[in-house]
Structures are given as structure tokens and as C-alpha cells.
Chains A and B, each alone.
Chain A
Amino acid sequence: QIQLVQSGPELKKPGESVKISCKASGYTFTDYAMHWVKQAPGKGLKWMGWINTYTGKPTYADDFKGRFVFSLEASASTANLQISNLKNEDTATYFCARYNLYFDYWGQGVMVTVSS
């Protein structure tokens, strides 16, 4: 069955970096783009951007340009999200989602807490 399994929760201090992973299984990884979605505590869903899993080219939403990097370990069917220079407002759950012109499969989410 198709699964997206994300890494575990993270507790970081402001200014630190974090890298979270999303391992896909049950389908050909390079056939579908992987997108990232942010959900701040008690808030709605916000699209962050996506990575072409065939070429590795990332595309970022305007609010996520600069400190956010999408990458791949294609041989491991894994997509990664790295956030540098963490700020308090980065505290959120981050989801990866497979894109099929809609998000048909989602990871379980990674809670990132930024606190001094």
C-alpha cells in the first residue's frame, strides 16, 4: 500500500536548523511530485511548494523562499525539507503530500517546536 512516513518531532532553538524527511513506499517515487504543507498550531493548511521528484527541481511559495530547502534522496524514495535560521513562527506541523493534481496521500506530519 502507498505510504508516506515522516521523521519524528523536533525541538529546536531559534537560529538552529532542522531537516525532516518523508519516505515514500508502494509506488514509483519519481512518477509523482512531492509537496509540502505547513500547519501552525490551531491554524489552517498553507502550501509551501513542491519538488519535482524526477528532476529534483524545487519550487517555493513566496512565503517560503530563502530559509527553506526541498531536496531528494531519490535512491531512498525520500523527500526532505530543511529549514535554517529557525524562528518562533516556524513552530508548526509540516506535512509532505503526494500530488496527483490533488493531494491523494499525506505523511503523518512532523511537529517542529522552536523555543528558547
Chain B
Amino acid sequence: DIVLTQSPALAVSLGQRATISCRASQSVSTSSYNLMHWYQQKPGQQPKLLIYDASNLASSIPARFSGSGSGTDFTLTINPVQADDIATYYCQQSRELPLTFGSGTKLEIK
């Protein structure tokens, strides 16, 4: 199985940049796609797709969210962080079955 490793928490001041990382135990990229995706989950809600294929912004997601990376190392950036961004962020790979999620990074306000 592909293991995705995320830091448990990140504290950032409002208006600053947040950088959330996800490292895969093996490559999740093909010759054409980087099969890593990012979700935001607020307490009591379902996850919401933010970024697909590593760097593509999902529909209706603000441009302050962006994603980058390839191979085994991926990053979700929020710039600038707003109060509404307080949530847990998960990465997820679809390179192979079983599909796997990272353990989540909880974004907190400093």
C-alpha cells in the first residue's frame, strides 16, 4: 500500500502563508498525471475537494489555494490564510489500489 505522511498540525497567523506537505512512500505520478489530491474537512462536515492531480484547482475553490509537487513530494499552499480556512487537510492518492489518505494536517491559527 502507498503510505502518505502528513504533519499532524500547523499553526499560522491570519494573512500569512500556510504550507502543508504530503510525502508518499512511492511515486504517485505517471508519465501524464500526478495522482495526488487534496481535501479540506471542517468539523461535522464532509470532506471537500480542493486540488486534483496535484495542481488543479477544483471548481469554486478560491485562488488562495494552490498545489504543487510530483513523484513522492507534494505541497498544498494557502496564501493568505483566512479564518474560514481552519480545518483539517488530507492528501489522497489514486495511483493504485488501495486508495489511501494521509492522516491529515490540522490547520490552527497562531
A residues neighboring B (CB under 8 Å): 35, 44-47, 59, 61-62, 95, 97, 101-109
Contact = CB atoms under 8 A, between A and B. Distances in A.
Contacts of A101: 33, 35, 52-53, 94
A104 B101 contact: no
Nearest to A104: B49
A106 B41 CA distance: 11
A109 to B, nearest CB: 5
Interface string B23-50: 0000000000101010101000111110
Given A102-B37, A102-B53, A102-B92, A107 B101 contact: no
Given A101-B35, A101-B94, A45 B47 contact: yes
Interface of B: 33, 35, 37, 39, 41, 45-49, 52-53, 58, 90, 92, 94, 97-104
Nearest to A61: B98
A97 B90 CA distance: 15
Contacts of A107: 46
Nearest to B98: A61
Contact of A103 (B49, B98, B102, B103): B49
B46 A109 contact: yes
